[in-house]
Structure 1
Amino acid sequence: MRILKTTIFALLGLIALLVLAVIVITATIDPNDYKTDIESVVAKNTTLTLTIDGDLGWSFIPLGIDVNNVTLEHADGSPFSKLNQLTAQVGFLSLLKFNPQVHKIILDGLEVTLVKNEQGEASWENITAKKDVSTQSASTEQQTNTKETEKSLPLDSNEDQASKKALNLEIEEIAITNTTIHYTDKQSNQSASLKDFNLLANSISFGNEFPLNIQFKVSNSNPQLDVAAKINAALTIDSSMKLVEVKDLKSDYTLAGTPFNGKAVSASLNANGIMADLTKDTVSLNKIALAFANLSLNSDLDISNLSGQPQLNGTLNIQDFSLQALLASVGQPKIETADPEVLKKLGFSTEIKGSAEDLKLNKVLIKLDDTNYTGIVNYRSAGQFVAANIKGSELNVDRYLPPVEDPVTQAAGTIASSASNDRAASKGNKPAKNNDPEPQLLPLEAIRSLNLDISFIQQTLIAKNLKLNDLTFFMKANNGVINVSKVSGNLYEGNFDVNAKIDASSDNPAWSINKTVNNIQIMPLLKDFQDIEIISGGINLKANVKTAGNTISALRGAAKGSANFDFDKGALHGFNLNKLACEGFALINRDKVTKSDWEKKSDFQAMKGNITIDGNTFTNNNLTAAMGGLALIGKGVIDAEMLSVNYGVDLKAVGDLGDNACRVNEKVKDLAIPVICKGSLSEDPAKLCKLDSSRVQELVTAAGKKELKRKANKEVDKQLDKYLGDDKSETKKGVKNLIKGLF
């Protein structure tokens, strides 16, 4: 018992002596007397120069230190860092209880200058003084021996328990104010700075909620960008440092600079709660709200298995916003569209499941004004595989195209351009030509990296005034090869089905296209697409085409293939082939057509043929058509690039053509009236087709000879019958043939 009392009194005495020693030291020793020694130590061990212009101070209750007006400079006098004030205070008795209670940590006016010169050397590198090699080796050997000794010593069980005991830390206040960091890279002519950084926190202790406030400004030189931020939150950290919770996060940002063309843009990041639980290996993001100008993103997300392959489970929602308003708010020009009311209601939402290696987006909803797309998307990092199954409602692409230029403005521009070219020509100069290279259709490198399986259905699609219903698109892509197994849809009372293969493994991609068309009404299609009104009826088509290239002109020039077609119950518009045939027969009959109310079209029951495709040239040599009173046979060429036609048509009468002048008699029987159709398909169809005058004249001459021969033979028969009577012998026939042959 006496020994215990003696031990307790001894410990109390030691503590009292220690306290007394600290009191005596802090009361009698002035740390300012050691400024020169401190500066010398820094000079000896670094390449920097330390200057302490302010006072050094310390205190006992609370135990603390004050440092004021300190600068660090490089050997050439350039600044490295400076500090206005550093105050650190801790309760002395709390240290003896192994329960440190920090009163204050104040860091004010810290300024750091970091520079990388033209040679890429950084000012913060090699600032420690080089040590003597022998001293460094001895120090290293001593450290190695110490570590080996520590490894060999058994860990005391009490020390083991103490190391496992949770630290009970309490801090009354942390204040980091007016901090500035300058960074300059002379090699890349870049600079950035962190200014007015302030961090305030108080009543900090493990397991209890404490407030955190942060403010700062960031500036970048190229591109010029300024960011001002203000962050407020409530933090809770448990004593094991494995559970961190952030509540009521509210952060606001203001961005300005070159990317925003002088506009100041506001942004924010808020959250009800963010919790990281390392014991459960999870992170939970509750009601995350990110805003940028008028764009707002909300998310709830749980992340598990952090130490392994993180698993995601949550939702993501971008609320409806106007893209045009967003562009305006960030100082960018709006997108000019044919319909000024589009791009004003965009949105996105989805459920997120899986991992970064196998991510699934379920219940995807994409809003594009009045159009909605729904479906699922799956991404697998193995092979960079993307699968998607998307369905869309009605989309009018024409609304999103650039606006059509005003005809008056367009005409004025054309006249001005023509006048400019005329002036250039008058001076002996050639008109300027557009030498810009033709745009590439496919990004070949991107396609070669694709690994896709896409299924897409569009309920209604309007493009270039064409209206398609139930558009279906199935595509797979891998190793630079795109297989489009199906592109089908309903179009103008009919339907089409296309499959294609594009091999983009080389720089000259190969294309193979097979197309089937069933009863598509061609008249409204051509009218809407090219404003051409030349033929109507339901077209049936089977085409097989192969080509190569990566521009429109290359694909057209290299196209090879064939197509079979037939039209059912249609008409050729703008001209009347019956009228042209009648005029031809009237010329032969040396008569005049009296009918004047001809329709400006040529009806047919059926028209068919096949086409050979050779580049931009479509050749047809077996066109046939059954028309009212006529049989049509034709052949010719269509230039797909110039949209022109050069067609020859022979019209043979097989019935009444509607006028006495074109009656079918012995003179015109078996004759075919030639018609030539030549010119641009965009021209007036009435001027496109006309009688082939040179061939008609040949027919008139031939018909005249035929008529003379007929009359001569008739007269021979009459005279022979007069002199030979009714003799029907072979002798009479031979005499007749002999005499007719003379004519």
Structure 2
Amino acid sequence: MRILKVTLLSLLGLLTTLIVAIVAITATIDPNDYKTDIESAVAQNSNLTLTIDGDLGWSFMPLGIDISGVTLNHLDGKTFTSLNQLTAQVGLISLLKLNPQVHKVIVDGLVVTLEKNEQGEANWENITAKKVTGSTQSPEAKVTSAASAQDNPSTPSRDKAQQANSDFQFEIEEVAIINTTIRYLDKQSNQSASLEDLNLLANNISLGGEFPLSIEFKVSNSQPKLDITATIDAAITIDNNMRHVAVRQLNSHYDISGTPLSGNNLSASFNGKQIIADLDKDQVTLDEIALQLANLTLKTNLEIQNLSKQPKLDGNLAIPAFSLQTLLASLGLPAIDTSDKNVLTQIGFKTLLEGTAEDLKLNNIAIRLDDTSYTGSLNYRAVNQYIAANIKGSELNVDRYLPPAKDPVTQATQTIEHETNKDENATNTGQSAPTPASSQPEPQLLPLETIRSLNLDISFIQQTLIAKNLTLNDLTLLVKAADGIVTVSEASGKLYEGYFDVNAKIDASTDNPKWTIKKAVNNIQVLPLLKDLQDLEIISGGVNLNADIKSTGNTVSALRNSAKGNASFDFDKGAFHGFNLTKLTCEGVALINRDRVTKSDWSNKSEFQSMSGVLTVNGNKFTNNNLTAAMSGLALIGKGVIDTKILNINYGIDLKAIGNLGDNACRVNEKVKDLAIPIVCNGPLNGDPAKLCKLDYNRMQELVAAAGKKELERKADKEVDKLLDKHLGGDNAETKKSVKKLLKGLF
């Protein structure tokens, strides 16, 4: 007991002596007396000069120091760093307990100037004076010392260090870093940037407790000119082990302006209920986080587990409806020119996130595009870059999002002016005129390298799709892609009162892709389809089509030129528009009858009950040699070629009158019975339909001559019958037949 008592008294005496010594020093020694020594020490150990214009002060309770008016200059006199005031205070008793309690840390008016000259030399390099003295310890001694330290059993283990860290108490009453400025200038690139008016305030800081943090600053950049003003407020919690950090009630706001925004002022924010990083659980939790840029907001609740290895996501992501046009205007970008000025004003997105970066799932996807909505799911796997998607959409009018159609006169004028300006520029610069657009390389249809890297399984359904004035309903698209081969197992939908179903295969494994297309069409109304697609009004009716086409190439012209295959078709209850085949047939029959057509109220179309044929596809030429059609009073057969490249038709048609054609001049008699009236249809499909089909007068001359010969033979035969009846009587049929045969042989 006596030994313990002596030991305690000795420690108490030592502590008392230490406190008395500190009090004596702080009370009797003026630190300003050592300014010159401090400035000299800096000059000896660096390439900077230190000037202390203000007072130096210290205190005992709490133990602290005050410094003001400090400047660090380079040897050439340029200021490197200046400080208005530094105050640091710590509780003496807490320091002796190894549980420091800092009262105040105040840094006021810190200014740092970082500069590179024209040669790229930085003023923060080589600020420490070079030492010429060698090491006072030999390499062997260093190795021995390190080995001794390693073998020293008193070296604390990692567990003990962690225990000491967990017992460590850290408290700060106030931290204030105010009026701080950092400037950067690069004379070599003529670039400058600065951080100004930085203020960081926090108080009652302690491990395990929550404390407020407030930060504000301004950032400026010269090229491009950009200014950012920011304010950040939050409540911070750090546990004693410093392995659990929570940021709550985060509110931050940013005002941005400058050249990239075309002079606009843009606001942004980053707010959240809480952000928790738990190193023991190896996870980060984001609770009610909202990032906002102008009118665009991204919201999320997300938990990220297994953070240090393979992060696993679980949460949701949402972008409330916003106007893309307004966002572009805020960013100083031009608006997207669309036919409908009301589109791109309501765009939104939300989904549930699940999985890892190697296997990420987006479930319950909901996309809004103005009046159109999409729902579905998506799965991405890093292995083989696999993407699977199942998407369903409502009605979408693509034409609303296309650029507005230009007036033909205005467009022609702009084209002429553009070409004239190009020629003038070429002349002024001494360059040759640019190559005409028509001689430029044709754009590729498929990005082959991208296609070869695809690994897709897509299911897409669109309730209604309007594109290029075409209206498709219940559009279904099933697509798979792997190893450079794209397979469309189904592309089907309802179109103009009918139905279509296409399946295709594209082999893009080579630079000359191979295409195989099989198409089935059921009762699609052709007239509105052609009207909306090509503004053609030439044929109507419901068409049934089965096509099997193969082609190669990666441009539109290559696919057209190399297309091979067949397509069988039949029409039900349709009509040719713009001309009347019955009228043309009547005119042909009237020529044979040597009569004149008096009917004038002919319809401007040619109706038929049915029409069928087979097209042989050979490049741009669609050849048909077996066209047949049933019409009122007519039977039609024909053959010809359609050139899809120039939209031209060249058909020869034979029309046989089998009934009343509507005018006495084209009465069907023995003279015209079994004769086919030749019609030729030749010209552009997008031209005047009334000029497309007409009588083939070259063949009509032959037909009229043949009809006349047939009529003479009929009349001669009739006269012979009369003479034979007169001389042989009516009961000698065999004799009459023999005589007629003999007479025909003579003539």
TM-score scaled by length of structure 2: 0.89
Q: Is the 8 A contact 2:49 2:74 kept in 1?
A: no
1:360 maps to 361
Q: Report Cα offsets for 1:581-638 as digits up to 9, x if no partner.
A: 1111111121112222322222222212222223322222222222222222222222
Equivalent residue of 2:146, what SS? helix
Query: Is 2:92 aligned against 1:98?
Result: no
1:491 aligns with 2:492: no
* Mapping for residues 320-359 of structure 1, pairs under 5 Å: 320-359=321-360
**Following the alignment from structure 1 to structure 2, what is the Cα–Cα distance between the partners of residues 423 and 30?**
82
Do the aligned partners of residues 227 and 711 (structure 1) sit closer, same or farther apart at CA in structure 2, a change above 3 Å counting?
Answer: same
Equivalents in 2 of 1:656, 1:432: separation in Å? 61
Name the counterpart of 1:532.
536
> In the alignment, what sits opposite 1:467?
471
Does the 8 A contact of 2:365 with 2:375 survive in 1? Answer: yes
Q: C-alpha distance in 2, partners of 1:518/1:44?
A: 96
Structure-2 change in CA distance of 1:657 and 1:349 (3 Å)? same
Query: Which residue is equivalent to 1:390?
Result: 391
Q: Distance in 2 between matches of 1:423 and 1:141?
A: 81
> CA 1:68–1:503 in structure 2 vs 1: closer, same or farther (change >3 Å)?
farther
* Alpha-carbon distance between aligned partners in 1 of 2:635 and 2:245, rounded to the nearest angstrom: 90
- Cα displacement (A) at 1:241: 0.9
Aligned partner of 1:687 among 691, 694, 699: 691
Partner residue in 1 for 2:59:
60
Tell me whether 1:399 sits opposite 2:397 in the alignment: no
Query: Which of 446, 450, 458 lines up with 2:454 in the alignment?
Result: 450
CA contact (8 A) 1:293 1:329 kept: yes
Aligned residue type for 2:53: G
Paired residue for 1:284? 285
Q: CA deviation at 1:546?
A: 2.5
1:266 positional shift = 0.9
d(CA) in 2 for partners of 1:163, 1:691: 109
Q: Kindly provide the CA deviation profile for residues 696-738 of structure 1, in whole angstroms up to 9, marking residues without a partner as x.
A: 2222233233334444555566667777888969998676545
3-state SS of 1:658 partner: coil
Residue 416 of structure 1 deviates from its aligned partner by: 7.4
CA distance in 2, matches of 1:76, 1:587: 114
Partner of 1:275: 276
Q: Secondary structure at the match of 1:706?
A: helix
State how far apart, in whole Å, the 2-side matches of 1:611 and 1:390 are. 37
Amino acid of the structure 2 residue aligned with 1:146: S
Going from structure 1 to structure 2, the CA distance change for 1:424 and 1:106 (only over 3 Å counts) comes to: closer
User: Is 2:647 the partner of 1:647?
Assistant: no
- The one-letter code matched in structure 1 to 2:4 is L
Equivalent residue, structure 2, for 1:672: 676
Retained in 1: the 8 A contact 2:149–2:155? no
Is 1:434–2:437 an aligned residue pair? Answer: yes
2:558 maps to 554
1:508 deviates by 3.7
Aligned residues: 735
Kindly provide the amino acid, as one letter, of the partner of residue 458 in structure 1.
Q
| SS at 2:105 equivalent | strand
Inter-partner Cα distance in structure 2 for 1:557 and 1:44: 85
Q: Relative to structure 1, is the Cα distance of residues 581 and 4 closer, same or farther in structure 2, using a 3 angstrom cutoff?
A: same
Give me the whole-angstrom Cα distance separating, in 1, the residues matched to 2:511 and 2:125: 48
Q: 1:556 to 1:81 in 2, by over 3 A?
A: farther
Match of 1:110 in 2: 110
Could you tell me whether the CA contact under 8 Å between 1:391 and 1:457 is conserved in 2?
yes
Counterpart in 1 of 2:426? none
Instruction: Identify if the C-alpha distance between structure 1 residues 430 and 219 changes in structure 2 by more than 3 Å, giving closer, same or farther.
Output: closer
- Asked if 1 retains the 8 angstrom alpha-carbon contact of 2:48 and 2:127, the reply is no
The one-letter amino acid paired with 1:410 is P
Residue of structure 2 in register with 1:303 after alignment: 304
Deviation by residue 1:170-194 (Cα, 9 ceiling, x = unmatched): 1011111222333455676654332
Contact 1:60 / 1:92 at 8 angstroms: preserved in 2? no
Query: Offset at 1:691?
Result: 1.1
Q: Offset of 1:136 from its aligned partner?
A: 5.5
How has the CA–CA distance of structure 1 residues 235 and 742 changed in structure 2, closer, same or farther, with 3 Å as cutoff?
same
Which residues in structure 2 correspond to 1:75-474 (within 5 Å)? Answer: 80-115=80-115, 124=124, 128=128, 135=134, 138=137, 142-155=141-154, 160=160, 163-184=164-185, 190-405=191-406, 409-414=407-412, 433-434=436-437, 437-474=441-478
For the residues of structure 2 that align with 1:130 and 1:477, how far apart are their CA atoms? 65
State the alpha-carbon separation in 1 of the partners of residues 568 and 507 from structure 2. 26
- The answer (yes or no) to whether the contact 2:275–2:286 under 8 Å persists in 1 is yes
Kept in 2: contact 1:447–1:504 (CA 8 A): yes
Residue 167 of structure 2 aligns to a residue whose secondary structure is coil
Quick one: structure 1 residues 111 and 511, their matched pair in 2 at CA, closer, same or farther if it must change by over 3 Å?
farther
Equivalent in the alignment of 2:9:
9
Q: Which stretch has the larger CA shift, 321-330 or 529-538?
A: 321-330
Preserved contact between residue 176 and residue 200 of structure 1 (Cα < 8 Å): yes
Match of 1:586 in 2: 590
Separation in 2 of the partners of 1:171 and 1:125? 34
- Structure 1 residue 56 displacement after superposition: 6.5
Aligned mates of 1:86, 1:419 — CA distance in 2: 69
Match of 1:596 among 600, 609, 620: 600
Paired residues of 1:716 and 1:740 also in contact (CA < 8 A):
no
Q: Shift in Å at residue 30 of structure 1?
A: 5.0
Report the CA distance shift for 1:14/1:430 in structure 2 as closer, same or farther (over 3 A): closer
Q: Is the 8 A contact 2:43 2:50 kept in 1?
A: no
Task: Say if 1:713 and 1:740, in contact at 8 Å, map to a contact too.
Answer: no
Q: Give the whole-Å Cα distance in 1 for the aligned partners of 2:418 and 2:386.
A: 54
SS in 2 for 1:606: strand
Separation (CA, whole Å) in 2 of partners of 1:619 and 1:144: 94
Q: Which residue of 2 aligns with 1:520?
A: 524
| CA 211–19 in structure 1, closer or farther in 2 if over 3 Å, else same | same
Alpha-carbon displacement from aligned partner over 1:300-328 (angstroms, at most 9, x marks no partner): 12222223322222122211222222223
Return 5+ residue gaps in structure 1 as ranges: none
Cα 1:41–1:706, aligned 2, differ >3 Å: closer, same or farther? farther
| Cα drift, residue 476 of structure 1 | 1.5
In the alignment, is the contact (CA less than 8 A) between 1:716 and 1:739 conserved in 2? Answer: no
Contact 1:385 1:450 (C-alpha < 8 Å) held by counterparts: yes
Does the 8 Å contact 1:549/1:555 carry over to 2?
yes
Look up the match of 2:428.
Answer: none
In structure 2, distance between residues paired with 1:197 and 1:423: 53
Deviation at 1:201, TM superposition (A): 0.5
User: CA-atom RMSD, angstroms?
Assistant: 3.4
Per the TM alignment, residue 492 of structure 1 is displaced from its structure 2 partner at its CA by: 1.5
Question: SS of the counterpart of 1:135?
Answer: coil
After TM superposition, the structure 1 stretch with the greater mean CA deviation from structure 2, 388-397 or 682-691, is 682-691
Please report how far the alpha carbon of residue 688 of structure 1 lies from its aligned counterpart in structure 2 after TM superposition. 1.3
Larger deviation, residues 366-375 vs 112-121? 112-121
Deviation at residue 497 of structure 1 after TM alignment: 0.9
User: Which stretch of the first structure deviates more once superposed, 95-104 or 629-638?
Assistant: 629-638
> Per-residue displacement from partner, 1:104-161 (whole Å, max 9, x unpaired)?
22223333344567777766556555666x9359466555433322221124789938
Q: Which residue of 1 aligns with 2:429?
A: none
The residue type paired with residue 219 of structure 1 is: S
2:573 counterpart residue number:
569
Distance in 2, matches of 1:160 and 1:417, equals: 81
Q: For structure 2, which runs of at least 5 residues remain unmatched after alignment? A: 424-431
Displacement of 1:268 after TM fit? Answer: 1.1
Alpha-carbon distance in 2 for matches of 1:220, 1:663? 93
Q: Which amino acid aligns with 2:408?
A: Q
C-alpha separation between the residues in 2 aligned to 1:581 and 1:431?
54
Deviations 1:81-107 (A, max 9, x none): 444433322122211011101112222
Alignment TM-score, normalising by the size of structure 1 = 0.90
CA distance in 2, matches of 1:612, 1:570: 22
Provide the residue aligned with 2:620 in structure 1. Answer: 616
**Structure 1 residues 59 and 384, CA gap change in structure 2 (3 angstroms):** same
